């Protein structure tokens, strides 16, 4: 699903330059959950942004679902993010004036999915994340964990092949975070989605099929007992 080869990314220049990624190469198999671990500032977010087409590396190649991300122009990148790659972040990013169902349906409106099909898909996803009874509530009427589950459902709305999650439990308490992490694990099976998640959480690491460690911009496979 993901093939990265020899990727470098540097911010700034001269003595103040920050080498966020250094000769990174990795593969992510389809239908797996891969955890990316490392200290703050180690390059996790930069790597996720490069894989998802939100940032361009200085050198190297990135392929997602067989698509050469480096060759895409802005329209191509927008299409990639609309149809193939979706994101979940620490900040939920929900639209305050929309209900949970309306938030989940936003990507389907952008792709002009017929109303009946859109409503069926939204209902299925809210059921999947355990929020079928909260479809008409707005974000300020939901707990943090519920908002993150809505955000995950929204990310899945357009049936992406890759879900990129950057510290998705960072703002949640331990119990709620565990629920969200279990949900991400279940999504791999239920939706056939590949998940690449940056996390500090040992429970998410334990749930992963594979663990990658990033240190000072370099990526290696982590030992099994992290």
At 165-206, the pLDDT tens digits run 998 888 888 888 888 888 888 889 888 899 999 988 887 888
132 falls within a domain: no
95 falls within a domain: no
For residues 53 and 80, is the Cβ–Cβ distance under 8 A?
A: yes
Mutual angle of helices 144-156 and 115-128, in 10-degree steps:
130
For residues 2 and 157, is the Cβ–Cβ distance under 8 A?
A: no
124 falls within a domain: no
Collect all residues with Cβ–Cβ distance below 8 Å to 180 and sequence separation of at least 6. 145, 148, 149, 152, 168, 169, 172
Q: What is the pLDDT of residue 181?
A: 85
Q: How confident is the model at residue 23 (pLDDT cuts 50, 70, 90)?
A: very high
Task: Go through 94-129 and write b for each residue having 16 or more CB atoms within 10 A of its CB, e for each that does not.
Answer: beeeebbbbbbbebbeeeebeeeebeebbebbbebb
Q: In the chain, how many domains are there?
A: 1
pTM, whole model, 2 decimals?
0.90
Q: What is the pLDDT of residue 153?
A: 94
208 falls within a domain: yes
150 falls within a domain: no
pLDDT tens-place string over residues 109-130: 988 999 999 999 999 999 999 9
105 falls within a domain: no
Domain that holds residue 58: 1-31+40-84+194-226
Phi and psi of 161, rounded to 5°?
-95, -25
Q: What is the pLDDT of residue 225?
A: 39
For residues 178 and 209, is the Cβ–Cβ distance under 8 A?
A: no
* Chain center to CA of 22: 22
For residues 63 and 69, is the Cβ–Cβ distance under 8 A?
A: yes
pLDDT tens-place string over residues 27-65: 999 999 999 999 888 999 999 999 999 999 999 999 999
148 falls within a domain: no
77 falls within a domain: yes
Q: What is the pLDDT of residue 163?
A: 95
Domain with residue 56: its CATH number is 3.40.50.300
- Residue 128, H or E segment: helix 115-128
For residues 145 and 180, is the Cβ–Cβ distance under 8 A?
A: yes
Residue 181 tokens, joined: 């992490």
Interatomic CA distance for residues 127 and 118, integer angstroms: 14
């Amino acid at each position: 699903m993901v093939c990265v080869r020899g990727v470098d990314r540097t911010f700034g220049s001269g003595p103040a330059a920050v080498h966020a990624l250094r000769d990174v190469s990795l593969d992510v198999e389809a239908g797996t959950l891969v955890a990316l671990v490392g200290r703050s500032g180690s390059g996790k977010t930069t790597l996720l942004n490069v894989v998802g087409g939100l940032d361009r590396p200085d050198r190297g190649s990135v392929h997602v679902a067989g698509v050469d991300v480096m060759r895409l122009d802005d329209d191509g990148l927008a299409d990639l993010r609309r149809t193939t790659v979706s994101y979940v972040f620490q900040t939920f990013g929900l639209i305050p004036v929309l209900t949970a169902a309306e938030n989940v349906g936003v990507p389907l409106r952008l792709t002009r999915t017929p109303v009946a099909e859109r409503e069926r898909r939204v209902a299925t996803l809210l059921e999947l994340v355990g929020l079928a009874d909260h479809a008409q509530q707005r974000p300020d009427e939901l707990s943090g964990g519920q908002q993150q589950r809505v955000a995950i459902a929204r990310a899945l709305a357009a049936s992406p092949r890759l879900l990129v999650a950057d510290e998705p439990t960072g703002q949640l308490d331990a119990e709620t975070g565990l629920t969200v992490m279990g949900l991400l694990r279940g999504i791999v099976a239920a939706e056939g989605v590949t998940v690449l998640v940056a996390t500090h959480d040992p429970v998410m690491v334990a749930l992963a099929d594979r663990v990658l460690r990033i240190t000072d911009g370099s990526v290696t496979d982590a030992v099994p007992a992290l």
